[in-house]
Structure 1
Amino acid sequence: MTLRSRALATGAAVATLLASGALLAPSATAAPAAGTAPASSRTSAATSARSYTPPAPVWGSCSSSSLKDAKAECAKVTVPLDYDHPDGTKIKIAISRVAHTTKQDQGVMLVNPGGPGGSGLGLATLGQYVPDGAGDSYDWIGFDPRGVGDSEPAVSCDPTFAGYDRPRYVPASPALSEAWFAKTNAYTDACAKKNGPILDHLTTVDSAKDMESIRKALGEKKINYYGFSYGTYLGQVYGTLYPKRLRRVVFDGTVDPRKIWYDANLDQDEAFDVNIDIWFGWVADHDSVYHLGTTQKAVRSLFYRTEEKLYADPVKGKGGQLGGSEWIDAFLYAGYYQSSWTGLAETFSRFVRDDDVKALEAAYLDSSGYDADDPKADNGYAVYLGVQCTDTRDWPQKWSTWEKDSWRIFRKAPYETWANTWYNEPCRHWPAQQQKELKIDGRKVKSLLMVNETLDAATPYAGSLEVRKRFPKARLIAEPGGTTHAGSLYGNACVDDRIAAYLATGELPKRKSGKKADVTCDPLPRPEPAARSAAAKKQAERSSTKELSTLRRAALPR
């Protein structure tokens, strides 16, 4: 799903209503189904993790300028590749720390940005954004999960995978399906060749055990935890395995544990279509600025006509050809963040009205994360697949199942459906063992504050309600009608002040009975092209930093 950031974590979406719905034959060249591991007890896995104690980290300087500016320290924690064999091969988890600056010491706060596949080192700086200085009494610990970024080894398969001029997303002919099968099979073949046994040890359970090793390496009895997007699922897993080790916990954009991971992607397909239509309507409301149509229907029609034009006649960017698939990808953030609406509307207008290819290419590169000069540009995507493809045995192995589901959803939700399908299709033939999914049980977690906008497309609101039920001590802040994904600490005082109060004192809102939120807050107002609010300006300034841009990409689905 990365919780699909596309390169990520990194990935984009669909085209016009071309298909009648007839099913295509599965590829004759599809790789065989991935193997499955023997059933094993995850409680015994937790026991094996407890048997390993890593050396204390040796802190030194960080390579990131923003971490240096924040006076952060960096280190690496040595952990087992396989916790069932703690004396065997070791790998290293990169961590960062911005120490508390107050007399009060509330312990460590681990942060995960999502993905899976997102780098979290930069999030050691997150404490400064908590209102009223409530983050200053924590040691903020960022970390790159196993396989990611500065951790060793870092997983990569083919850094050009998310490059330019890709096949049409909607497989309106068998030839298009075969083109995608060739592309995804080549990618998984490269993953098998370039990476060693770490591919069998990238599950969320593995990363939760790494968090436990970080706790022990830091000499802490308990940890605090702040998880965005996929990071909320990592927190659920950690809370299931080590509930007594959690103190204060914040989840923003909560993953539904009932839908790991195939069904989660199907939910996203429909949710992103809702949000892109909301954006089309907003663009129409501001036709005097963008001149793209006075109705939602007119803007939508122009958007998909432009996609078709680019499939027929791609334009040449600085790095390569930009076709219809790159067009769709360029606008993915519109389904994630209201703060992107004005800039993407300007890109849309400038390309259609002024043939501004440079603006389109910049939006595509920003969304996809593709970098021709980065030899590990696909690191986020490779880890995304490595985690999601092995977290569960519930990925369908028959292409006919994917095909039937995708065509069914595409008929009513054309925007992201087929792009999301191809982004995740490598899980049919991922070269590592699938594991038995962990059943999430939060009954022993004593404190949890959750945040979710009700039209969040990457982590639909139903997931927060489900986790609230499984974690009886949890409280949920809902933002009805909001379309932004994992947007806490971005200027909404109603939300952010409650997070600050919780981190300062541990006090939670009163829990309401029934399947509902405990607190509701209005989402941030929709942006205005001419005069953006102070909160929106602050959000834009923060999102311009490399680390928080990575956070955004890592939280996306695919």
Structure 2
Amino acid sequence: MDNSKTVRVPRPRSLLVFEPFPSSRGWAWPSRRANTVFVIALAAQLLVLFGINHYYGLHEADLPPLSGDVSAPGTDADFDWYALEPKRELAWVPCYSGQKCARLLLPFDYDTPDGPTTAIALRMKPATDKKNYRGTIFLNPGGPGGSGTEFVGRLGKNIGDVVGPSFDLLGFDPRGTGFTTPVAWCFNSDSERAIWTTQEGHQLLNASDHSVGLFHARAKLLGERCQTRIGGEWGIGRFVSTPNVARDMLEISQMLGQDKLQYWGFSYGSVLGQYFAAIYPDKVKRLIVDGVYDAENYKAALWNTNIVDVDRAVDALFDFCHQAGPDKCALYDSSPDKIRRRFFRVLEHVKQNPITIPLAEPPAIITHKALLAQFFYATYKPLTMYAPVVNTMHAIETGNTAALTALAPLIVSPIECKCGDRPDPAFRGDNEVTFAIACGDGEERAWDLGEYRKWYRGLEHQSHLMAPMWGIYWMQCAEWPIRAKSRWTGPLAAKNTSHPILVVSAKYDPVTPLPDARNVQKRYAGAGLLVQDSYGHCSLSSPSLCTAKHVRRYFEEGTLPADGTLCDVEELPLVGKRDSSGLQALSAEDAQLLVSLRGLSEGMPVHRGL
């Protein structure tokens, strides 16, 4: 299905909740019954096109499975991780239709091997080409806090089509996350956490007004609560550090009979890859960092280089909308600048006039903050998420409540009551474990309002629009009381690695920019750099046969791309396929690879952080 096509939606007479903006287009006004049918049909199509991905506050929930690896209810989908006995050696059991699962006991503290342990959840998609078997590739989807077991389940088949059939793919839930126990959670249930999140309200963070007081109080309280729940001498919060996870990967790799690591890490996974290559440079067989955050900046807990290119991704929406034309972009106008003015006119209007959606289930209110969050996270995956953004803004502009009712789950996420005995694994990686890992890894600093305002002004210089979306990280880490027992204080660099690493970056990544990737490449001797000419977070946000073939060649042969390699993509946001005639001439293998890449661009998770 071509996601670039926009559904034209009529404006109902009786459901307007505010006076619509003037529009140059005419609309047919159907009956109420027709509106009801339309809402159901559009909602169904949106769920098919974009998955059940929705926003609450400052995060997007992960999309549903796309790879087909997760079985239907009643079969392997009922696999109970907690019934699987954790052991000190790898003891695989069949799971998820042809895959293998295990829970591995590893020490909290490698200096105290007989002390408390963590049970690491591992999920493997075995290689299908046993004759040319090349070992296991470890995967990390980001976060920090994203679930590797879920990542392999949802996208393992697609990743396998990229790297080839001769590799096992291993996803694991790092310490404190997912099905790994104990979890680094500070709330008793998902519902309790959701209630805490709602108390933030609809106010945006701005260092020049009173909002700082609210957000700082929340950061301080969360830190204090987590100290009581996961702190203390043997609290899990002290042992979720990235150096510990790097050691876990080495231990698991060696248990698999592989002395050196093969790894592909995305976003925060790029930080984990940098740590591994710096701490164990002689244990690198193949290592790709994709969507790269400079780990030196991360280790310093600065968080001040991330959004230098986010405004480029913002501006790209208006350019792609104009290029796509009126049949594919609901906000189309005669120039990108006119589209931009219409877009920001709507955004400014909603700041003073939030939109009510009485027929949504449950009823919802669209606020300026909700729209900004939707747009920010759309910059992570423009190919699949720019269409809902422009459809939302157009529906507000024209007063089309029927369309807004259908779009509501993509804008404001309702809270569900999940008050069971066992918390949901929270695969999204958008809970407090993000801070447990990132702030515990970072350098300690005391909260200082003047320093914070200075730091925030630097963010505003990068992007005045999106600074509120990133403004919490320095603040939360300043109020994070749990220090990692083991921190890496050496340089995140290597004069030599046993095989050169490969650094991969989109040209305009909204949160892990290309300048960071270039800095990382320079610090690891012999490293290669592959740049993908695209907008979005990590290379998987846009399908590129060129990128995929370089990745496969690197894993199979160890070959780095030539200096200055720039890979085109096969599809553009809103516009669609770049060369349909050329795509028709693809080999069967490349055509299937392109389908898998499209699935990856749809299914790549979006986390609150990285």
Instruction: Give the structure-1-normalised TM-score.
Output: 0.78
Q: Distance in 2 between matches of 1:439 and 1:104?
A: 37
Match of 1:17 in 2: none
Hey, what's the Cα distance between the residues in 2 that align with 1:418 and 1:127?
A: 34
The verdict on how the C-alpha distance between 1:283 and 1:163 changes in structure 2, with shifts beyond 3 A counting, is: farther
- Alpha-carbon separation, structure 1, partners of 2:282 and 2:557: 19
Mapping 1:369-448, distance limit 5 Å:
373=418, 375=423, 377=426, 380-393=430-443, 397-410=447-460, 413-433=463-483, 435=487, 437-445=489-497, 446-448=499-501
> Which position in structure 1 is the counterpart of 2:397?
352
Distance 1:412 1:88, change over 3 A: closer
**One-letter amino acid of the counterpart of residue 136, structure 1:** P
Q: Does 1:142 align with 2:171?
A: yes
> Do the aligned residues in 1 keep the contact of 2:493 with 2:524 (CA within 8 Å)?
yes
**C-alpha displacement at 1:531, in angstroms?**
6.7
Please name the residue that 1:93 is paired with. Answer: 120
2:361 is aligned, of 309, 313, 318, to 318
Counterpart residue type for residue 458 of structure 1:
V
- Between stretches 73-82 and 151-160, larger displacement belongs to 151-160
Per-residue CA distance 1:351-403 (angstroms, 9 max, x = gap): 3321343344322358xx97664855585331211111121216563122121
Deviations, residues 206-233 of structure 1 (Å, cap 9, x unaligned)? 2111112222333332221111111111
Task: Say which of 190, 214, 217 aligns to 1:179.
Answer: 214
Alpha-carbon displacement from aligned partner over 1:429-488 (angstroms, at most 9, x marks no partner): 1120164644112233123222212211221112222222222232111124x2122124
Alignment gaps of 5+ in structure 2:
1-56, 63-86, 188-192, 584-590
Aligned pair partner of 1:281 in 315, 319, 330: 319
- Show the 5 A alignment for 1:80-159: 80-102=107-129, 103-124=131-152, 128-129=157-158, 134-158=163-187, 159=193
Identical aligned pairs, as a percentage? 24
> 2:92 is matched by which residue type in structure 1?
W
2:84 aligns to what?
Answer: none
1:195 maps to 230
Q: Secondary structure at the match of 2:309?
A: helix
Distance 1:524 1:290 in 2: 22
What value does the CA root-mean-square deviation take over the aligned residues?
A: 3.2
Task: Please give the alpha-carbon distance, in whole angstroms, between the structure 2 residues aligned to 1:370 and 1:149.
Answer: 20
The whole-number CA distance in structure 2 between the counterparts of 1:537 and 1:336 is: 20
Q: TM-score, normalised by structure 2?
A: 0.72
Pair 1:451–1:303, CA change in 2 (3 A)? same
Does the 8 Å contact 1:9/1:381 carry over to 2?
no
Higher radius of gyration, 1 or 2? 2
- How far apart, CA to CA, are the structure 2 residues paired with 1:215 and 1:395? 35
- CA 1:429 to 1:222, structure 2 compared with 1: closer, same or farther past 3 Å? same
Whichever residue aligns with residue 544 of structure 2, its letter is N
Identify the residue that residue 568 of structure 2 maps to in structure 1: 522
Q: Distance in 2 between matches of 1:406 and 1:133?
A: 40
Alpha-carbon deviations, 1:293-329, whole Å to 9, x = none? 5444444444444344444343355355432211111
Partner Cα separation in structure 2 for residue 107 and residue 537 of structure 1: 25
Partner of 1:462: 515
Partner of 1:25: none
Higher relative contact order (CA 8 A, sep 6+): 1
Deviation of 1:124 (Å): 3.4
- The superposition leaves residues 1-35 of structure 1 with CA deviations (integer Å, 9 ceiling, x where unpaired) of xxxx954699xxxxxxxxxxxxxxxxxxxxxxxxx
1:362 maps to what in 2? Answer: 409
Offset, 1:347:
2.8
Task: Please state whether the residue corresponding to 1:270 is helix, strand or coil.
Answer: coil
Are the counterparts in 2 of residues 452 and 479 from structure 1 also a CA contact under 8 Å? yes
Q: Deviations over 1:134-183 (max 9, x none)?
A: 52111111011111111101222352144487242143764322222233
Question: How far is the alpha carbon of 1:130 from its aligned partner?
Answer: 5.5
Look up the equivalent residue of 2:330 and give its one-letter code. Y
Query: Which of 555, 561, 567 is the matching residue for 1:509?
Result: 561
| Aligned partners of 2:59 and 2:430 also within 8 Å | yes
- Residue equivalent to 2:330: 290
Q: Distance in 1 between matches of 2:198 and 2:325?
A: 33
Contact 1:311 1:324 in 2 (8 A): yes
Give the aligned partner of residue 504 of structure 2: 451
Structure 1 residue 483 corresponds to structure 2 residue 526: no
Q: Which blocks of at least 5 consecutive residues in structure 1 are unaligned?
A: 11-53, 63-67
Is the CA contact 2:101–2:122 (under 8 Å) kept in the aligned structure 1? yes
